[in-house]
Amino acid sequence: MAELSGQRGRPFSVRRQTGFTTIAVVCFVALYAPIITLVVYSFNSSVSIASWEGFSWRWYVAAWQNDQVQQASIRSVVIASFAAVIATTLATMAALGTTRTRPYRGLTAIYAMINQPLMVPEIVSAVALLIFFAMVKVATGYTGLGYLIAAHTAFCIPFAYLPIRARLESMDLTLEIAAADLYATPWNAFRRVTLPLLWPGILAGAMLAFVISLDDVVITEFVKSAGQDTLPTYMLGQLRRAVTPEMNAISTVFLAISVALVTVFFFLSRRRK
């Protein structure tokens, strides 16, 4: 009887459910096996992506010496950097305006508008941006990278906004109130109190916005002009023609950059704490 009551009193844990370990292993294998295969075959000396003929760096060298890959990579980093900085700045302002204020009419509507790109299918946003920027191009004659930066910024704002807002909502207001009581101006209170505490959320939002922009294909494909391929759209164009291990090498570099960004953010946030 005591044993039965002890079992009833144990807290629920999904790890003790029948088949949990098996399902978890299957999920991890399905998730990481293709990635591991991609990385391994990026070092394949064969032209074929299906047969292994030995270890080689030839496809990394080929990708490094490919002028189109270099230009597309630089363009991707430039667009992602500008989009991440602008989106994070706007997201920080929006998060402050929706959390560090008394509730007011329309606050829910503003929250929904900020997160609209997450709720609407990306293809809808891409077509809308295509139509809008087409009218702007006709009116101004400008066809530069500004359209891609603006499009990526608009799409990345909610991705930067969510972690920043979550950080603000979890912060204690005591220090900010104390700064106001000590006659600190709103700007000084923000710069010396709020911003240092908010910095991990800002880093998380910036990193997420950068990765999302760097990886985007649909919006870029619709908005870009001739000669403005980013690395993802260049890879998509190459895959339509012929699949070579060079694509594996480029994808592996993308993966390494993503892992490096996550690692840097982890150590920075840990140091900040």
CATH classification of the domain holding 102: 1.10.3720.10
Question: Whole domain around residue 30: which residue ranges?
Answer: 12-41
- CB distance 236 to 251 below 8 Å: no
User: For residue 85, what pLDDT is reported?
Assistant: 94
Q: How is the chain split among helix, strand and coil, in percent rounded to 5?
A: 80, 0, 20
Crossing angle of helices 231-241 and 67-99, rounded to 10°: 130
Considering its fold, how many domains does the chain have in total?
2
On whether both 145 and 72 belong to a single domain, the answer is: yes
Of the candidates 234, 233, 221, 225, which has an alpha carbon nearest to the alpha carbon of residue 69?
234
| 127 lies in some domain | yes
| 18 lies in some domain | yes
On whether both 119 and 19 belong to a single domain, the answer is: no
| 56 lies in some domain | no
| 138 lies in some domain | yes
Phi and psi at 221, nearest 5°, equal -65, -35
Could you give the 3-state DSSP secondary structure of residue 107?
Answer: helix
On whether both 231 and 127 belong to a single domain, the answer is: yes
User: For residue 1, what pLDDT is reported?
Assistant: 47
| 61 lies in some domain | no
| 58 lies in some domain | no
On whether both 88 and 187 belong to a single domain, the answer is: yes
On whether both 181 and 265 belong to a single domain, the answer is: yes
On whether both 37 and 161 belong to a single domain, the answer is: no
User: Tens place of pLDDT for every residue, the chain, 273 residues?
Assistant: 454 445 555 676 666 777 778 888 889 888 888 888 888 888 888 777 777 778 888 888 888 888 888 888 889 989 999 999 999 999 999 888 888 777 778 778 888 888 888 888 888 889 999 999 999 988 888 888 889 999 999 999 999 998 898 888 888 777 777 887 777 787 888 888 888 888 888 888 898 899 889 888 899 999 988 888 888 888 888 777 766 778 888 888 888 887 887 777 777 666 555
